[in-house]
Structure 1
Amino acid sequence: MDVMTTATAPLPTPAGATTPAPAPVWARRAAHAIALCALPSGLWRIAMASGVYVGYSDQVLRDVFDIPGWGIAYVVGLSVLAELAALLPLLLVSDRWRPLRPRTLAALAWTASGVLILVALWQLVVAFTVESQTYMTSGTAQTVWGFVFAPLFAIPALMTAVTWSYAKRHRAGGQA
């Protein structure tokens, strides 16, 4: 008895369709780096929401961030959303799951890259304003804050590179 399983049977491809090349190693590494770049700031925010001293006085936490209070949900939610968003580039280098058509995913990724660049520029302005610096209680706390948020500034460049690689592969593969 001859049994053929679906795992060994080739999948049919539409006539004239070509499969895009797999993502290059550098693009895969860059996509994973994006998720890792978002992690330190997320952990710092969760520490802040948990009551760990991160450089803000109790009065600043209450008056500015509403911690304890709804600010905890906001800060933790922001951390979770940021990390989930940082996982988006993994869709651009994976061949396993395609939630959208390649052209739609590429447009979404280019939009995300542009928004990330604008947000990074905005964050630089916020980081260097006098008001944001006066909330921290010490220079050590500002230094730690700088180290945990600095990796976020690599994300726009990494995202743009991963998006460019995805768009190039799918344009060459006839899928764009």
Structure 2
Amino acid sequence: MFGFIVRYVFWVCLLFWMVFFDQFSPIFIINQLQTDLMISLTWLWVDALELSLRIQDNTLILSNGMSLRIVHECNGLTPFLLFLAAVLAYPTFWKNKVAWAIFGYIALLVINVVRMLLITLVVIDYPDLFHFAHDWVGRYSVGLLTLGLFFLFTVFVPIQATSLKDRHN
């Protein structure tokens, strides 16, 4: 367990350094691409549901005058990187890690799109509930679903033996 925690902290630090700090991040562009993807997916559900709102750049302008900006913090990358760090730290074979990283990305992308849709649907009629819907329901539900996804990973993926003693038992 201690080894997992050390590896998890290492992967969290490395992944967050690589993606989030635009001043010295080697691949900060991933953060921008993820935000652009979320904006594009938002266009899709706005059109599909024929909602009475406009999208201008990264902002949803609702019929009640409220504006919702899609910023880097809204793109769903943070829960994915936390999930990815846990998957990478887990003692299993790399093929399992890669498969679950891809599955986790897709699952968390869908979860984040649904989160954004539900927040928008709530604040169209109840703008005063934005902070509750976004900060409490949205964030905590994504956090719990991310933990649930990692739990599923640990249930379905075998632990790789790490020593000769483990391999013979």
Report the TM-score when normalising by structure 2.
0.29
Q: Say which structure is richer in helix.
A: 2
Structure ranking higher on relative contact order (CA contacts 8 Å, 6+ apart): 1
Based on CA coordinates, which of the two structures has the bigger radius of gyration? 1
